[in-house]
């Protein structure tokens, strides 16, 4: 007999029993097998399980809604939601929910058990397909931010570093072996690129930015 009390909820009897069999063989104790989302909340209060395995699409109350309702009652609840598809909408709904893990129903036995053990232990889990989607989105956002960042030239960074130190245009010109007019031109370019109004605001920007901090 396993020690990890578990609730399994899915509208398909064969699939539900299959999940329960896999979990039982691996040390989980199935306390409730349910085919209706409306029954999960009362079962959870009666059982206080270590893990809830809920299908995304359940009659009456779906898995995502259940995850939210359960988390409202017990912030320590450990919930794995099983999805029929790997759409962006499915991932977005999961990220906004109280569930701890998301896995496709088509996942293999090894991944399913890995997810269940990790979530029961208090970790989170994102199925392989969803993890790839998250990585792609992270890279897209990162690259977008990089492209939208003002492109400051190496010379402009040098000028800015001296401005932070309190150097005048003449002093900067002497340090860089350029004319004061050129220094002023670089300063003007920086103000335009960064949408700033004066040297003081340039200095504040430099102190906050890792890219141009001297």
Q: What's the rounded Cα separation, in Å, for the pair 113 and 118?
A: 8
Q: What's the rounded Cα separation, in Å, for the pair 27 and 18?
A: 15
49: pLDDT strictly greater than 90: yes
88: pLDDT confidence band, cut at 50, 70 and 90?
confident
100: pLDDT confidence band, cut at 50, 70 and 90?
very high
CATH class, domain 4-131, is: alpha beta
CATH architecture, domain defined by 154-208: Orthogonal Bundle (1.10)
Alpha-carbon torsion, ordered 173, 179, 184, 186, to 10 deg:
-80
The 8-class DSSP code of residue 29 comes to E
**Per-residue pLDDT tens digits for 142-156:** 666 665 567 788 888
The residue count for the chain = 214
Fold agreement (4-131, 154-208)? no
């Amino acid at each position: 007999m396993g020690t990890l009390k578990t609730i399994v909820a899915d509208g398909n009897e064969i699939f539900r029993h299959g999940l329960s069999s896999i979990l039982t063989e691996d040390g989980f104790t199935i306390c409730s097998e349910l085919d209706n989302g409306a029954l999960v909340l009362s079962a959870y209060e009666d059982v206080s399980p270590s893990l809830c395995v809920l299908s995304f699409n359940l009659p009456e109350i779906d898995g995502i809604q259940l995850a939210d309702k359960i988390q409202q009652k017990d912030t320590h609840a450990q919930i794995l939601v099983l999805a029929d598809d790997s759409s962006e909408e499915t991932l977005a709904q999961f990220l906004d929910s109280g569930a701890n893990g998301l896995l496709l129903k088509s996942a293999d036995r090894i991944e399913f058990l890995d997810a269940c053990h990790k979530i029961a232990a208090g970790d989170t889990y994102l199925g392989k397909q969803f993890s790839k989607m998250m990585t792609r989105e992270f890279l897209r956002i990162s690259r977008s931010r990089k492209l939208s960042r003002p492109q400051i030239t190496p010379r402009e960074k040098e000028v800015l570093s001296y401005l932070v130190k309190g150097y005048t245009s003449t002093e900067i010109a002497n340090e860089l072996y350029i004319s004061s007019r050129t220094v002023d031109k670089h300063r003007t370019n920086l103000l335009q690129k960064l949408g700033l109004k004066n040297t003081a605001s340039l200095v504040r920007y430099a102190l906050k930015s890792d890219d141009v901090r001297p």
